[in-house]
Amino acid sequence: MKERFLIITNGKIQSPTALQSSFRKFTNFNLDNKSFTIICADGGIHNATQLSLQADYLIGDFDSIDEKLLKEIKKDRSVLNAEIKDCEQSPEIIYDSDQSKTDTRLAIELALKLAAEDIYIITATGGRMDHCLSNILELKFINDKASVSLIDEYSEIKYSTKSLELRGKIGETLSIIPLSDIKELSYEGLKYPLDKADIRAGTSLICNKFSENQARISFKSGEILIIRAHDAGENVEIGVREAGENAEIGVREQCND
């Protein structure tokens, strides 16, 4: 089994082409079955079909899947996409009616149970805002259990309680969203630097820019979302790696758009 997992949720796809391009830019992987074990969270199976992807696992309470389609999937996974060949068996179907957990959480727990080292979540930000925010906050649940990114047509989102080093092109956009009060936040390698600033939750630290090919974000304590953003169609190449605890960061005021 592959150590990289792709979780497809039931959000809306704005543009399959833009999503595939964005995913490739942020991860250096194509959206295909060769690179990932694929888990669909309930109605995410419809998004997998739209992206010509073949599910290895389907999990949820199945309130977002047409009953007739579910019966067909159990018989033959190729009904999901006529272009997929050599489909000898259906995806493993796991019914879970636990209403205290979202389908996305069930998919994440399954990936962790299957020893995922890298988890990528897609189609999680379109549609209803409560679903969108819930999916983003699932990154907090994973935290150090695995490396995780949530990716859509315009952004890559990560969660961290530790200092980070990030690689990117000069001029690329980086935003920080404090989920709690942040102690001694510092930036290096960004256009708008910070030096051991204490930041309150809710402070706007968006639309900073890489001033070097590598940036460093450090803080003593707190929780942040790190968002790498681009306009659809931009040629962006991105990488992230964890830094030492005594690093330094910087983030910025407000977008002009």
50 token code pair:
């739209």
Long-range contacts: 127-133, Cβ < 8 Å, 24+? 127/10, 127/11, 127/12, 131/10, 131/11, 131/102, 132/11
98-108 burial, b at 16+ Cβ within 10 Å, e below that, comes to eeeebbbbbbb
Which pLDDT does position 242 carry in this prediction? Answer: 41
pLDDT of residue 246: 36
Range of the domain at 179: 160-242
pLDDT at 255: 53
Mean pLDDT of the chain: 83
Q: Considering 133, 153, 173, which residue would you say is the last residue of a domain?
A: 153
Shared domain check, 166 and 136: no
Q: What is the mean pLDDT of residues 78-88?
A: 44
Distance (Å, whole) CA 189 – CA 170: 9
Antiparallel, parallel or unpaired: β 182-188 and 214-218: antiparallel
pLDDT at residue number 187? 95
Residues 34, 142: one domain?
A: yes
In the structure encoding, which two tokens stand for residue 3, read together?
Answer: 């150590």
Same domain as 192, residue 118: no
CATH number at residue 166: 3.40.50.10240
In a domain, 251, yes or no: no
Q: Is residue 184 part of a domain?
A: yes
Determine, yes or no, domain membership for 74: yes
Q: Structurally, how many domains does the chain consist of?
A: 2
Which residue has better confidence, 90 or 214? 214
Determine, yes or no, domain membership for 256: no
Q: How far is it, in rounded angstroms, from Cα 4 to Cα 57? A: 14
Question: Distance between CA 253 and CA 29 in Å, rounded?
Answer: 32
- Of 105, 124, 153, the last residue of a domain is 153
- Inside any domain, residue 249: no
Lowest mean pLDDT among 75-89, 112-126, 168-182, 242-256: 242-256
pLDDT at position 81: 44
From 118, 153, 188, the end of a domain falls on 153
Distance in angstroms (rounded) separating the CA atoms of residues 77 and 92: 10
Same domain, yes or no: 32 and 108: yes
Mean pLDDT is lowest, of 1-10, 58-67, 217-226, for: 58-67
**Are residues 64 and 81 part of one domain?**
yes
Is residue 237's pLDDT more than 90?
A: no
- Pair 10, 40 in one domain: yes
Is there a single domain that holds both residue 11 and residue 116?
yes
Contact indicator for 121, 10 with CB cutoff of 8 Å: no
Which has the higher per-residue pLDDT, 239 or 255?
A: 255
Q: What is the mean pLDDT of residues 169-191?
A: 95
Residue 186 lies in a domain: yes
State how far the alpha carbon of 106 is from the alpha carbons of 6, 85, 190, 207, 251, in Å: 13, 28, 37, 33, 34
Q: Tell me, what's the pLDDT at 78?
A: 46
Q: Would you say how long the chain is, in residues? A: 257
Indicate if 168 and 141 belong to the same structural domain: no
In a domain? residue 189: yes
Q: What pLDDT band is residue 183 in, cutting at 50, 70 and 90?
A: very high
Per the structure block, which two tokens stand in for 115?
A: 């020893």
Same domain, 145 and 177: no
Residue 119 lies in a domain: yes
DSSP 3-state assignment of 129?
A: helix
